[in-house]
Amino acid sequence: MYNFDYQRAQTVADAAKALSGKEEAKLLAGGMTLIPTLKQRLAKPSDLIDLGRIAELKGIKREGNAVVIGAMTRHVEVATSDVVKSAIPALAHLAEGIGDPQVRNRGTIGGSIANNDPAADYPSAVLALNATVITNKRKIAADDFFKGMFETALAPDEIVTAVSFPQAEKAGYSKFPNPASRYAVVGVFVARTGGQVRVAVTGAGPVVFRQKDMEAALAKSWSPDAVAAIKQSANGLNADIHASAEYRAHLVTVMAKRAVTAAG
């Protein structure tokens, strides 16, 4: 780990102030990606601004037809939240399957989506549920948020404060975990909200994406069979020692089927 200045922010405004004008500063949420990166000397931030003590970033609440989850809410809290379990059980199920208990006890939803790892679980839920990412500056629609591999719509001095998930009529998530890291090799989140169907795929490509053929099929007929015959193209999909692009493409269909089954 290289030296850096550590700052503990008390409010979002504090954090934004600390961040402004410092191009090499980094926000520290749960640190599940950042800390290992620092330990391996793969990042050299000038400042680390710890968001861990900012009360306004924590917690889960019901707001009308939506579940609003503070950016610094840990995966374990989402997994065990009565609000989430009753409103969007698929989201609680997703959180329950992230990493391992240590990761779930430290990792946060804000950190996960701001990092936008191509194999992270949360981006699929944000996209499929058509959530809104709330920052200290604006509200960003899910379709506009995830830009590319580890790349989001966030400005350098922008901080995610919460994510607002509209309650879905039906939602399900199924993932094929990397046997070693337990990240998603392929994770598919399906949701029907206000009659609209969205299918989001994580792990398979460089960034989470919507599978529109499946969305159309499910809009016509909400059943596992509706997606069973839809083939995902392997073009542009990720490939590594754990799964070739072709295998990932196959898994998209399998996981979509299972996600629909889970959604009921």
Partner 1 sequence: MSSTGIGAPVRRKEDARFLTGRGTYTDDINRPGQVHAFILRSPHAHAEIKGIDTAKAKAAPGVLTVYTGADMQVGGLPCGWLIHSKDGSPMAEPPHPVLAQGKVRHIGDPVAVVIAETRAEAKDAAELIAVDYNTLAAVVAAEDALKPGAPQLHEQAKGNLCYDWHLGDKAAVDAAFAKAAHVARIDIVNNRLVPNAMEPRAAIGEYDRATGEHTLYTTSQNPHVIRLLMGAFVLQLPEHKLRVVAPDVGGGFGSKIYHYAEEAIVTWASARVNRPIKWTAERGESFASDAQGRDHVTHAELALDKNGKFLALRVATIANLGGYLSTFSTAIPTYLYGTLLAGTYTTPAVYVEVKSAFTNTVPVDAYRGAGRPEACYVIERIVDTAAREMKIDPAELRRRNFIPKDAYPYQTPVALTYDSGDYFTTLDMALKAADYAGFEQRRQEAARRGKLRGIGIATYIEACGIAPSAVAGALGARAGLYETAELRVHPTGSVTVFTGTHSHGQGHETTFAQLVSERLGVPIEMVDVVHGDTNKIPFGMGTYGSRSLPVGGSALFKAIDKVVNKGKKIAAHLLETDEADIEFKDGKYSIAGTDKNVAFGQVAFAAYVPHNYPIEELEPGLDETSFYDPKNFTYPAGCHIAEIEIDRDTGIVSVERFTAADDFGRIVNPLIVEGQVHGGLAQGIGQALLENAVYDEDGQLVTGSFMDYCMPRADDLPAFDVATHTTLCTHNPLGVKGCGEAGAIGAPAAVMNAVVNALAPLGVTDMEMPATAERVWRAIAEKTMPRAAE
Interface positions with partner 1 (CB under 8 A)? 1-2, 40-41, 176, 179-181, 240-244, 247, 250-251, 254, 257
Nearer residue to partner 1 within complex by CB, 41 or 64:
41
CB of 102 to partner 1, least distance (A): 12
CB of 185 to partner 1, least distance (A): 9
Nearer residue to partner 1 within complex by CB, 222 or 247:
247
Q: What is the 3-state secondary structure (H, E, C) of 210-264?
A: ECHHHHHHHHHCCCHHHHHCCCCCCCCCCCECCECHHHHHHHHHHHHHHHHHHHC
Nearer residue to partner 1 within complex by CB, 8 or 250:
250
Nearer residue to partner 1 within complex by CB, 2 or 235:
2
**DSSP-assigned states of every residue in 153-208:** S--TT--EEEEEEEPPSEEEEEEEE-TTT--EEEEEEEEEETTEEEEEEESSSSS-
CB of 110 to partner 1, least distance (A): 22
Nearer residue to partner 1 within complex by CB, 151 or 246:
246
Q: Scanning the structure block, which residue is given the tokens 């490939």? A: 239
CB of 234 to partner 1, least distance (A): 13
CA torsion sign for 227, 229, 233, 239 is: positive
CB of 200 to partner 1, least distance (A): 20
* 96 touches 103 (CB < 8 A): no
Give the Cα separation of 12 and 180 in Å (integer): 36
User: Which of 102, 73, 79 is CA-nearest to residue 91?
Assistant: 79
Give the Cα separation of 60 and 57 in Å (integer): 10
Nearer residue to partner 1 within complex by CB, 70 or 203:
203
